[in-house]
Amino acid sequence: MFRGWTGQVSCDGMARGGATRKRVPVIVARFYQFISLMNISPSEQQHTEGPEPSVMDVLKEQIRDLAKSEFARLVELKYGHSHDVIGEITVANVLGGERGMKTMLTDTSDLDPLGGIRYRKMTLREVNSALPKPDGSTVGLPEGAFWLLLTGEVPSEDIMHEFNSELHRRSELPDEVITTIDSLPKDMHPMTQLSIGVLALQPYSVFSKGYFQGDLRKSDYWESILEDAVTLVARVPQIAARIYRRSFHHDDQISSDPHLDWAANFAHMLGVSDDPLFEEVMRLYMLLHADHEGGNVSAHTTHLVGSALADPYYAFAAGVCGLAGPLHGIANQESLKWLESCMAHHNGRIPTKESVGKFAEKTLREGRVIPGYGHAVLKVADPRYLLEREFCLKNIGDDPMVQLCSVAYEAVPTVLSNTGKVRSPYPNVDAHSGVMLKHFGLSEPDFYTVVFAVSRSMGVMAQLVWARIMQMPIERPKSVTLDHLYDTVLSKSHPQTKSQL
C-alpha cells in the first residue's frame, strides 16, 4: 500500500496473482504523474523567503497535502483492484430509486447508522467542539466546517479570521446579478429566485473562462473550481438575504456587515431579530446542515452536473432545483406545520405525552406520515436533532413550541415503533429546526428551504472540488428497459418459462 506520498509501495497481498503484480508499475507511474501535475515535488520542498502566503494559498496547500495520500489510495484501487466486487444490484435497487447502492465516491462526509453524519471522520459534536468560535459563542464557525470539508484539517482562529475576510471580499454581488434578481416577481417562490440568482453568477466563473479559453490542463481544473466554489459560498447568503427582504419585507434591504462572521452576517442581513442568539441559531443551523454524504438529491445533482464539467454555478443551481422538491427540502416546514396543528388541536396548551401520542396515531390513521421522524440510515435519534434540542432547551426552553418538541420526542417514537413498519422511529434534524427558526421571527416556511440551500452550498462545493482533484469521470449509468429487467429475472428464476413465452 502507498505510504504517504513518496510512491513507496508494499506488495503485501499483491502476490496472489501475476496480473496484479504487473499493475504495480502502472500504479506507481500514475501516482507520480499525479504528483507532477499537482505541482508537488516527490521530495520535501524547501520554503524560500517571500511574501506571506494568502489564506487561499494556505487553503490550496492544505488541500494538496491531503490529495497526496488520497490520490495514492485512489490509484491503487483503480489500477490494482478495479474488478473487485463490493456489492450486487437487485431488482429492488433498480425499482427503488437506487437507495443504498454504493456507487459514489464522497470523502467529505459519511453517515454512520449509530453515530450520525461525520465530517471528515469527526462527529458533529466533535466538529462543533473543535472549530474556532466567536467570542462568547458555544457554536463553531460553519465556514470552519467548510475549511474542514475541503482540507481534512480543523482551521486555527487566525486562519478563520483571514478566511472570513476573504469571504467578505468575494461576497459583493455584481450589479448585473442584482438587476436580474430585482427583475423577478416578488411572489415568485424563493427557491426559484435563488436558482436564477445563482445562474446569474455563472458568467463570472473562473473555471468556465479558463476552460473555454484553453488555458487549463485537466490537473488544473480543481484550483479554478475551488476559486468558483469559495466565491459561490461567499455570495449565496447575499442572494438569499436579498430574496428574503424583497419578497417578505417590501424590498427594504440590509447591508452586509464586514465585521461579522459568515453565518452571523446572513442573520444580520435577514433582519428578523436583533437578539444575539439568532446569530448563534444561524451558526448552528449552517454547521449541522452543511453536508450529508453524496447520494441525496441536491448533492448528487450537483455532482452529476459537475461531472460534465459544468462549472459550480451551473451545478449548484441544478442542486438547488433538486432541493426544492417536496421529497427533499421541505421536511422542516412540514414538521413545523404538524407541530402547529398539534398545538392548535390542544387549544394552544402544551399537551401531555399521552395526548400527543393519540394525535400521532390519528395522523397515521389518516394515511399521513409524521414529518421529522424516521431516517433511511440512522438507527438512533439524529445527533443533529439532539444538538438543536440541547441548544433550544438551554436558550429558549420557555417557548411552548420547544416544549411541545420535547413532548413529541418522548411520545412519537413509541407510536411509530408500535406500528411494526418503521425501521427508525426517532426524530431527525427536521423535527426541531423549523421551531428554532420561527422562534426568532423567521416565520415564512417557503424560505426555509433557501436557508437549507445556503448551508448545503458548503458541502456540495467541497465535494465538487474533490471530484475534480480525484479526476472523477462524467457520470453515466446504464439504464434498462422493463422488458430487459423482466426477461433477465425470468431467465434466472424460471429458465423454461422464458422459452415458452
Residue 145, classified by CB atoms within 10 Å of its CB into exposed (0-12), middle (13-18) or buried (19+), is buried
Q: N- to C-terminal Cα distance for the chain? A: 52
Q: CB of 92 within 8 A of CB of 360?
A: no
Q: How far apart are CA 100 and CA 97, in angstroms?
A: 9
Q: Which residues are catalytic?
A: 328, 375, 430
Determine contact, residues 127/134, Cβ cutoff 8 Å. Answer: no
Rounded CA-CA distance 264/167 in Å is 13
Q: Residue 52: what residue type?
A: E
Grid cell digits, residue 240? 438569499
Return the number of other C-beta atoms located less than 10 Å from residue 492's C-beta: 9
Give phi and psi for 278, each to the nearest 5: -65, -35
Instruction: List, in sequence order, every residue forming a beta bridge with 373; answer none if it has no partner.
Output: 427
3-state helix, strand, coil in the chain (%, to 5): 60, 0, 35
Structural contact between residues 270 and 79, judged by C-beta atoms closer than 8 angstroms: no
| Greatest C-alpha distance within the chain | 81
CB 22: neighbour CB atoms within 10 A? 10
**Surface-to-core class of residue 500, CB atoms within 10 Å of its CB (0-12 exposed, 13-18 middle, 19+ buried):** exposed
Q: Which grid coordinates belong to 332?
A: 422542516
**C-alpha cell, 307:** 461531472
* CB crowding 49-80: b at 16 or more within 10 Å, else e: eeeeeebbebbbebbbebbbebbbebbbebbb
Q: At 427, is the secondary structure helix, strand, or coil?
A: strand
